[in-house]
Amino acid sequence: MTHRYNSTLSPLNLLPEQLDQGRPIDFPSTSILQPHSLSKGVANGVMAQFQEMMRQQLESSMHDELEKLLDTVTGAEKEASRKDFEGFKNLFHRFLQVKGPSVEWIKIQRPPEESVSPYDKIAARGLPDSVADSLNKLVVVKLNGGLGTSMGCKGPKSLISVRNENTFLDLTVQQIEHLNKTYNTDVPLVLMNSFNTDEDTKKILQKYTHHRVKIHTFNQSRYPRINKESLLPVSTNMSMNGQSSEGWYPPGHGDIYASFYNSGLLDELIAQGKEYIFVSNIDNLGATVDLHILHHLVSQPNGKRCEFIMEVTDKTRADVKGGTLIKYDGKLRLLEIAQVPKAHVDEFKSVSKFKIFNTNNLWISLAAIKRLQEEKAMNMEIIVNPKTLDGGQNVIQLETAVGAAIKCFDNAMGINVPRSRFLPVKTTSDLLLVMSNLYSLDAGSLTMSPKREFPTTPHVKLGSSFTKVQEYLTRFESIPDMLELDHLTVSGDVTFGKNVSLKGTVIIIANHGDRIDIPAGSMLENKIVSGNLRILDH
């Protein structure tokens, strides 16, 4: 049987056992071989050679396709896209080289105690009189590339109202302005936008002109989505209109290092005397500037200067999928669930073995970012994110995570912070918590009410009728009193009247076709409400 050259075969699916299955395999035309006549060693050697040839061919084809895409634009856009594509080609090259899982489970160790400090220990050192000196070395960076689509909103997620008509962005600006006024400092805010959020964000920034915060923006890279079968871009031009827009994606927040450096803003801030950035997701309302962590960073001896701090916090049952810190090959490293072999996923989720998870609140040296970028030494694991486009086409996105770079920095460490520093708003269930009387708002910061007897937040699970923000808002005449709530589950067509109070465990289930209106002034404590309860206007 002759094995013919098949140029569309993906090396991802190409395994040595295919030699024995008689499938069409890409052999060079000059060497038509009968696989069953080869010894195993020779077969493996031929296979390795063949796979390398396939990789080179795929890289060459990708290069040609990217050049064709660049030919569809001119001027500044062409230059910016060329820079983006350099980063993409590096990622694609590494993606083709990957063989098997990126970690060997047997080599994973718990991080040594001295590499993850308890927050209390750092706070116990107190603060110096010169807090302002430390603050003037700091830049706050918010990851602002995401859209509000998962909550049924159009445009940037940062523009969703979360508390008293304040958006995520409003609260961030208020926090930094409060710092600058209190300590007479100049802490700037930097937003890393994506092509999805840049235009709308820039329009809204005009309203902060008279606030005491300098706001800068830069854009994440724009990478081409790859056809899962051919491993080539799905787009035929650089346009972001109509169907073409589906061909592009922002490549995860690990792109911050390259795009920050390429924008010129990194050098500009270093020239102004800035030394550290505090990076966090804009939808994490607990991620405020912490003066104790900042002081710890800037007050270390130069010989042992820490270049990277990851804030971690104790896992609960809700966080079992969160990335964790491990020791691997002698360095601290972030381990994400996507890197875990299937046989060990349950072990990874175990709260007893991996007790902490990454909040994505990071403190990073600007000089170190510059050095690692110039040395091309920023090496992050690749996350392969499969997607299906509206037309049904299967594509993959190659992404990286900002925290995965921890292994590249010198003297990196973790700080185990209180849970209050991790308050993400990913769903309307989270939104209900931050809009309630569980929290009070002061200068843009949310703090747990002292009237709450337990330091943990209630577990809230709202059903699909509450998924979209607009619909969620119509279902609450006012946000219930939740100070004594432990657990709330709501499913089906349910509405809440004014001044409802929820305590203990409350479960409200309206079956299909039923509707439940919780009357104004109701107090539900440890109750299950089901069936049909409808209040009609008289």
Classify burial at 83, counting beta carbons within 10 Å of its beta carbon; exposed 0-12, middle 13-18, buried 19 or more: middle
- CB atoms under 10 Å from CB of 526, counted, come to 11
Check if 274 is active-site.
Answer: no
Q: Are 334 and 323 in contact (CB under 8 A)?
A: yes
Q: Which of 137, 426, 468, 527 is catalytic?
A: 426
Q: Is 470 annotated as a binding residue?
A: no
CA–CA gap between residue 259 and residue 217 (Å, rounded): 11
Token pair listed for 218: 């830069």
Check: CB of residue 533 under 8 Å from CB of residue 524: no
d(CA 192, CA 428): 24
**Helices and strands, number each (H, E), in the chain:** 13, 25
- Tell me the pairing of strands 308-314 and 331-335: unpaired
Residues shown for the chain: 538
Distance CA(31)–CA(35), nearest Å, equals 11
What single letter denotes the amino acid at residue 391?
G
E strand or H helix that includes residue 69: helix 40-70
Exposure b/e, 27-38, CB count within 10 A at least 16 = b: beeeeebebeee
Instruction: Output 39-47 pairs: Cβ under 8 A, ≥24 positions apart.
Output: 43/16, 43/19, 44/16, 47/16, 47/19
CB contact set of 420 (below 8 Å; sequence gap of 6+) = 286, 447, 448, 455
Question: In the numeric block, which tokens belong to residue 45?
Answer: 């050697």
Give residue 492's region: left, alpha or beta (phi > 0; psi -120 to 50): left
| CA terminus-to-terminus distance, the chain | 84
Is 146 part of any known ligand binding site? no
Strand, coil or helix: 101: coil
Centroid of chain to Cα 248: 18
Give the H/E segment covering residue 45.
Answer: helix 40-70
Contact 384, 223 (CB under 8 A): no
Dig out the tokens for 87 from the structure: 């980063």
* Residue in this structure with the two tokens 């800035």, named with its chain if needed: 274
Using DSSP, state whether 10 is helix, strand or coil. coil
Backbone angles phi, psi at 186, to 5 degrees: -135, 70
Dist. CA 268–CA 310, nearest whole Å: 25
For 461-500, give the secondary structure using H, E and C: EECHHHCCHHHHHHCECCCCEEEEEEEEEEECEEEECCCC
Say if residue 390 carries a ligand binding annotation.
no
| Residue corresponding to tokens 């010129």 | 264
87 assigned to a ligand binding site? no
What residues act catalytically? 426
Annotated binding site: 157, 220, 252-253, 283, 426
Annotated binding site for substrate: 253
Annotated binding site for UTP: 157, 220, 252, 283, 426
